[in-house]
Structure 1
């Protein structure tokens, strides 16, 4: 019914694979309505004789068909440096911080996911080939050029070696700026060259940027999104002035030298997203962080932080908490303070070998968190890389770790479960055949690593109705997988 129109649209793409993919994505959104397909075929843009080189016909048509809110998200995505690594959660967090997604606070992330998928279906952004569960996406150079040309009055992406763009920083004022410097430190961009952009709402820096004493963030009072993934040794000088950014919503820092956030960060009442993941020298989380009542996401995976300030339970808006280090003594809070955090969607607990059964992991009340979909449970591994056991854990320690995991029973809403370093002889009670379908009935992905002493997998694992992916790495005590693994 639509073949004749489809062939005519393909003919207008002049044999360009990208144009065919983008038009396919556009027509897919139109459904099977002949009238809508004919409108795309007969659009006047195909006959435009003088279009700038950056405005690809197919991309232009797909872009113009987007709702205004998704247009903004698309244009900001084009600013992300190709040398950076940004997950779906990162990108949607930026869109929310910029106010591009409108709705109730409970619906914003779900709307962001819909916008994200819409851009994929239109082939305006494309999944990479290295990641499956949380793809890092690519944007074709032609699409990126189109987006940056369309946003040229408000946004610019500067790369090392492109002096034309760098000169724009003194000749024009922008709202959104992305800087990527792949050159050596001595040739990197000076922070002072950015300071004329006082109206910035978004600042993204990746690579080598030279920071000197006296440099600060006070020149960017309007910032909502700040991403500093840079190698400079003086990033701490900038961090000291963070509290000056009264409107900041999104903060992401990756740097090998930063060790903490300033204590006065608690004054930044609008902060929603904080990520210091990968900051290997980061050791301390400011106590005042418990004052950030609007905080949605907190990520400190890959740091050396070993505790969370007491009073953490006050952050009742938290949706994503990654890298929570479990402690039971001193001035740090325990698993119990996770109990009131009923909005959690994504939770990563590390150092669970430090938890004692007497502290009752059940007080974390995971089973009551109806929105929890992703759960990561991590203990320090007792295996060497070759799979040999480092130290023989005593019977009491093995019994204790099982009791801790027993108390961390997830809710039925769980979609993704990862367990790493578990050294109990039996898997947690909620993974036994009698409870498996009630506790994990919605599970789609199960990933387990370093199951040092487990000798048997629970019966009926493969009978979970929605399970799509199961991966088990380094389980040296499991010698046989029999039919009981398949049959309940």
Structure 2
């Protein structure tokens, strides 16, 4: 109710309109519907209603950042506006749901990065969407529901070992699916595929053995959102991935078996989000800079191949809002960093800079760093100078003897928008961070 009233004018009449609403005396509402939540739901714009219902599909224990949630909404066509500002518009929707107390902020994470839904609110949403969506755990009751009704959206959590998991064949009867969210193990047979899901826009799979599905992914001509998280049996994406020409989002976070991206990924000109964090991808295809539509890029490896450095491919990516660079200890000269043009990216608000502590050492920062290596990494980080629009900055395993110059000169080049500064396993002692007094600072 507080979330609803704060969106109203602060007048007696507007508040009395809520108090006297007919919904309080309605007798036709199902008993599962909370009247107060229903009032807030009815007060929302139709676009926001759809985003609210879609958020209820998120498995309770799954951690999805606001960027991933908004990317799902964009892929589903729930965000309306100019193509250049879809992420910003989606975040406004997300923040309004927080303001209305329909999404709760997880205080274990900085800012409003992670949100969850209270069980009462979630139950309400699932009742409202019951004809089109199903959220369930594996079991006979779930299998019966799937076999007896056609859904547009499914979110299923399979428990136990693969041998007693959910039967994949039951899902293939859902030919109208637009969203499929699966967590846990599913029992697959030889020949299991995605070919029957011709209308699928969103495919999210977590902690499942789904290598059998890789080749058939290219049959999903309408797919916008592909997330494979911690799927340890996957070693590659299909080489002809460019045939999914509308694909906007790819997450491979935690798929440790993946060591290489397909060369044809550079042809996905609609791609807005690529996350290869916690994979073993250490090279990227040449021509990557053609993906100028990218807004989020996580786990991008700094890789040297003769006179060519992968960081050169970042230069044309002017619309990047979130960038995570790994392996910066591999950069041999500041000229390669300069070609990344970090200091010209006016939309960049989140930047993560990660080293392997020193060449050939991917553990924690240790002693014994040579003076040459120390000076080289200092020059590399000096060249990375982002614009003052940065809001979140993480530096991990940096083995320079001092902070980057652009951090020490914050008084003359103020980072007025910086909200979170996080330094992890760094040799350089942040002796004075007083210029960042308005930020949340973590040093671990």
TM range (shorter): over 0.9
Instruction: Look up the SS of the partner of 1:293 in the other structure.
Output: coil
Instruction: Write out aligned runs for 1:310-321 (5 A).
Output: 310-321=286-297
Give a deviation string over 1:32-75, Cα, whole Å, max 9, x none. Answer: 12221111111111111242121111111111111000000011
Instruction: Verify: 1:470 aligned to 2:430, yes or no.
Output: no
Instruction: Write out aligned runs for 1:53-132 (5 A).
Output: 53-132=31-110
2:225 aligns with: 250
- Structure (1 or 2) with the larger CA radius of gyration: 1
- Displacement of 1:184: 2.8
Q: Any unmatched runs of 5+ in structure 2?
A: none
Q: 1: CA distance between counterparts of 2:384 and 2:173? A: 51
1:31 aligns with: 9
Q: 1: CA distance between counterparts of 2:112 and 2:203? A: 23
Q: Return the match for 2:25 from 39, 47, 50.
A: 47
Give a deviation string over 1:254-275, Cα, whole Å, max 9, x none. Answer: 2011111111002211111100
1:479 aligns with: none
Give a deviation string over 1:299-318, Cα, whole Å, max 9, x none. Answer: 01011111111101100011
Q: 1: CA distance between counterparts of 2:100 and 2:170? A: 37
Q: Return the match for 1:204 from 181, 200, 208.
A: 181
Q: Return the match for 1:430 from 406, 409, 413.
A: 406
Distance 1:455 1:236, change over 3 A: closer
Please tell me whether the aligned partners of residues 300 and 322 of structure 1 are also in contact (alpha carbons under 8 angstroms): yes
Q: TM-score, normalised by structure 2?
A: 0.95
Please tell me whether the aligned partners of residues 316 and 343 of structure 1 are also in contact (alpha carbons under 8 angstroms): yes
Please tell me whether the aligned partners of residues 364 and 425 of structure 2 are also in contact (alpha carbons under 8 angstroms): no
Cα RMSD (Å) of the superposition?
A: 2.0
Q: Return the match for 1:293 from 269, 287, 295.
A: 269
Q: 2: CA distance between counterparts of 1:74 and 1:277? A: 25
Distance 1:134 1:121, change over 3 A: closer
- Displacement of 1:134: 4.6
Please tell me whether the aligned partners of residues 334 and 383 of structure 2 are also in contact (alpha carbons under 8 angstroms): no
Segments of 4+ in structure 1 off by > 3 A? 330-333, 387-391
Instruction: Look up the SS of the partner of 1:147 in the other structure.
Output: helix
Q: 2: CA distance between counterparts of 1:169 and 1:455? A: 57
- Displacement of 1:335: 0.8
Please tell me whether the aligned partners of residues 175 and 199 of structure 2 are also in contact (alpha carbons under 8 angstroms): yes
Please tell me whether the aligned partners of residues 414 and 440 of structure 1 are also in contact (alpha carbons under 8 angstroms): yes
Please tell me whether the aligned partners of residues 241 and 262 of structure 2 are also in contact (alpha carbons under 8 angstroms): yes
Q: 2: CA distance between counterparts of 1:51 and 1:191? A: 35
Q: Any unmatched runs of 5+ in structure 1?
A: 1-22, 474-488
Q: TM-score, normalised by structure 1?
A: 0.86
Distance 1:42 1:320, change over 3 A: same
2:237 aligns with: 261
Please tell me whether the aligned partners of residues 126 and 137 of structure 1 are also in contact (alpha carbons under 8 angstroms): yes
